[in-house]
Amino acid sequence: MVSAVLAASGGVKQVICISWGTKYGAPFINRLYAMVKRNITPPFTFTCFTDNRSDLNPEILCEDLPPLDVENMPVRTKGIWPKGRLWGPKLGNLSGPVLFLDLDLVIVGSLDSFFEVGGPDDVILSRNQTTPFERLGQTSLFRFPVGKLVPLQEKFRADPQGVADKYQFEQRFVTRNAPGGAKFFPRRWVLHFRQDCRWPFPLNYFLTPRLPADARVILFPRDFHPQFAVEGRFGLKGRAAPPLDHIRHMFDPERRRNRPLFRYLRHYIRPTPWVADHWRE
């Protein structure tokens, strides 16, 4: 039996992503498409809205970046506000519910259930695990009907800097302003690598980050790419090192980069092979 969500899109699971500039590009898009294809029951489509179609898998449906019509984007903000291009009245030839995925997440289980929760007119976000005392969604993975978020785009377009200053993150803006209110996918479906998979100090020196059995998608936000987990380095400026070497370097100011001692010790992960097993074409 086709769910009401799928019926609204002609029985097709519609997955989308967006890419602009040079930060990610074809390798991330192609990996994401491959992960979707391995973890979804057809029929489905995968559409990338992008300003550069070079080297993309020919099976990927490409569309130009939707217009946003904002002359001056917000500055000094933590939010990824260019995602607001997706809030317009049209998304290429798509209609009905679409599932948006960030380029740097890792799919580890079936995506089918993301098209079964709620109704076709609902805006449904993954839960933000970094703010447990705030009812906040995560727009690294969320589902919405094409055109439903037009009021958000209009509000943002009217005062981009003011909206960014008030809400800081685009996910908070979407959570607070989604027409009809935001709903959430089950908490354990979408997990945060550093919070839900990495072991706390001192177990992080002895145990490889775990993959919870009920996880379907693992998020890698704030410039912590899946490749860093594969290599066993904590972030963009981190270095992969055996546990004893990392501990020994706590007395080296250059390696610590002036971080407090406990923070330095806490920021360690062992190489994580299961990430490489899933994050591939």
- pLDDT at position 256 is 75
Residues linked to residue 154 through DSSP beta bridges, in sequence order: none
Token pair, residue 196, equals 């839900």
Neighbouring C-beta atoms of residue 94, cutoff 10 Å: 19
Residue 6 has pLDDT above 60, yes or no: yes
Q: What angle do CA 245, 246, 250 make, to 5 degrees?
A: 110
Q: Does pLDDT of 193 surpass 90? A: yes
Asked if the model's pLDDT at residue 43 lies above 80, the reply is yes
103-128 average pLDDT score: 97
pLDDT of residue 81: 96
> What pLDDT score does 237 carry?
66
Mean pLDDT of 151-161: 97
pLDDT in tens, 198-225: 999 999 999 999 999 999 999 998 778 9
Q: How far is residue 52's CA from residue 75's CA, in Å, rounded to a whole number?
A: 24
The answer to whether the beta carbons of residues 66 and 88 sit under 8 Å apart is yes
Residue 45 pLDDT: 98
Residue 1's pLDDT band (cuts 50, 70, 90): low
Highest mean pLDDT among 40-54, 131-145, 213-227: 40-54
How far does CA 33 lie from the centroid of its chain? 14
Class of the 1-184 domain? alpha beta
- Reply yes or no on whether the pLDDT at 63 is more than 70: yes
CA-CA distance, 102 to 140, in Å (whole number)? Answer: 5
Q: What is the mean pLDDT of the chain?
A: 93
pLDDT band at 159 (very low <50, low <70, confident <90, very high): very high
- Where in the chain are the domains? 1-184, 190-278
98 Rama sector, left if φ>0, alpha if ψ -120 to 50, beta otherwise: beta
Residue pLDDT, tens place only, 227-246: 999 999 876 667 788 888 88
